[in-house]
Structure 1
């Protein structure tokens, strides 16, 4: 059995890699020498190249039987992920564990480019008849707040997702553990697995969890989805299509309000998900120099 891991340095992929780096039957696809260096020492094979390049894909999928399929949000995401999966199927793969996104369930929601890309890819995989398909559908990643650790330590959680948008914020370590379990299982659970944290938290609630771990006040600031927000992203070099994708996603968070919780962690791992408080104590506090409480 050979397992191919794509995007092994991503928010979820880095933890998938950590769980599988000592196995000799795992292959990791990285884009560059810098990606290989970030990967660190692994026992299995490392393939370098662009996931959109047919020659790279052929080398990556040769002999693969199971595939962890992930790709950053990009203009060509649907084409790249679908191409990888179909090439893997042609090479003999029979199991795909795809990293997707939690769907919006409120009536009247407008499709957004981020979740829409995942819907397109999943539909193509089903049409292709993947024998064993698991689609991980996580809510908002807690790890996405780590780049704002300095601002949080200074007392501000600024977020454009809406003050009343209570989400099942999920620790990406849990997503990775579910992915690895599905990759390695003799009989995977399969199907759509909604993955979330144990409670739906509005941004103000999340700020309170972070404040407790950091030992200081953290105040939520609602960032409006306006021209200034767009200009700020553009000024940091974010392409216009990416800004529009994020706008659609955050607008849907605001429209949906309170999201339901997923049971994927319990179904696959038999335990409750990690909480926002655990994430903050384990990862956020150390990121700003606050020692973890024993």
Structure 2
């Protein structure tokens, strides 16, 4: 068995990599020399440098691969890159793909590009004839708040998702489900919704962070206006990506209270980590380091 991990230093991939670092039957696909250098010496398996957008690199990357962890950041070329890698793996003999997707919105909301891209890719993988396909569908990542640790330590949680409630999920849980599906003799398979144990408003999430940080944290709603767009543009975010993020956050605001997923319990046999667990174990050390 050979497992190929795409985006091994991504938001979820880095935890998948950590779990598989001591296995010799894992190949880690990286694009840049910097990423290759970050993994060299820290993993037992093969570090393969190649570009998922390059057909020749993809064909070489999937040789002998039996199982694939497929992930890619939201970007203009996401659908093409994930589809090409997944289809090439199937054509090379891979029988199992664990794809990182996103939780669908309830009701009659029109899918945004951030979440809708995943459905397009999954449909193409099914059409390619993959034998065993698992699509992970997590809610919002708690780890996305780590870059805001300095602001949180100063007492502010600013976010544009609005007043609804979501099952904010610790990325470590997503990775553990992914690894379990990759390595299982008989994976759960299908679509697996993953969330935290409770639907929290951003005000409740701020309170959870405040408890861990030992300081008051106030939630501040960020309007999805021109100032918000300009802030992303100043950080170099491409207009089409800004549009996709705008539609994603608009759907968060429209949906209100999101349903919870049972994927962690179903696959791992335990309850998911809480926002408090995340805050105490990861956010507090990060905030302390920036103080």
Task: Give TM-score, length-normalised by structure 1.
Answer: 0.97
Counterpart of 1:7? 7
State the 1:36 CA deviation. 1.5
String of CA shifts for 1:189-235, please: whole Å, max 9, x gaps. Answer: 00000000000011000000000000000000000000110011111
Report SS of the residue matched to 2:127: helix
Counterpart of 1:24? 24
Counterpart of 1:89? 90
- Asked if structure 2 preserves the Cα contact closer than 8 Å seen for 1:178 and 1:268, the reply is yes
User: Are positions 1:106 and 2:96 aligned together?
Assistant: no
Counterpart of 1:200? 199
CA distance in 2, matches of 1:265, 1:241: 33
**Segment drifting more, 281-290 vs 191-200:** 281-290
Counterpart of 1:175? 174
The two structures, once aligned, show a CA RMSD in angstroms of: 0.9
String of CA shifts for 1:77-107, please: whole Å, max 9, x gaps. Answer: 1111010000001111000000000000122
Counterpart of 2:129? 129
After the TM superposition, list the runs of 4 or more consecutive aligned residues in structure 1 that deviate by more than 2 angstroms.
Answer: 37-40
CA distance in 2, matches of 1:36, 1:286: 27
- Asked if structure 2 preserves the Cα contact closer than 8 Å seen for 1:47 and 1:59, the reply is no
**Segment drifting more, 235-244 vs 33-42:** 33-42
- Asked if structure 2 preserves the Cα contact closer than 8 Å seen for 1:162 and 1:254, the reply is yes
CA distance in 1, matches of 2:285, 2:156: 17
String of CA shifts for 1:251-270, please: whole Å, max 9, x gaps. Answer: 00000000000000001000
Counterpart of 1:258? 257
User: Are positions 1:161 and 2:161 aligned together?
Assistant: yes
State the 1:38 CA deviation. 2.6
Report SS of the residue matched to 2:200: coil
State the 1:125 CA deviation. 1.1
Counterpart of 2:118? 118
- Structure 2 residues not aligned, in runs of 5+: none
Q: How many residues align?
A: 288
State the 1:44 CA deviation. 0.7
String of CA shifts for 1:228-254, please: whole Å, max 9, x gaps. Answer: 100111111111001001001000000
Counterpart of 1:236? 235
Report SS of the residue matched to 1:289: helix
Counterpart of 1:245? 244
Report SS of the residue matched to 2:135: strand
CA distance in 2, matches of 1:261, 1:135: 16
CA distance in 2, matches of 1:76, 1:273: 32
Counterpart of 2:37? 37
State the 1:31 CA deviation. 0.9
State the 1:39 CA deviation. 2.7
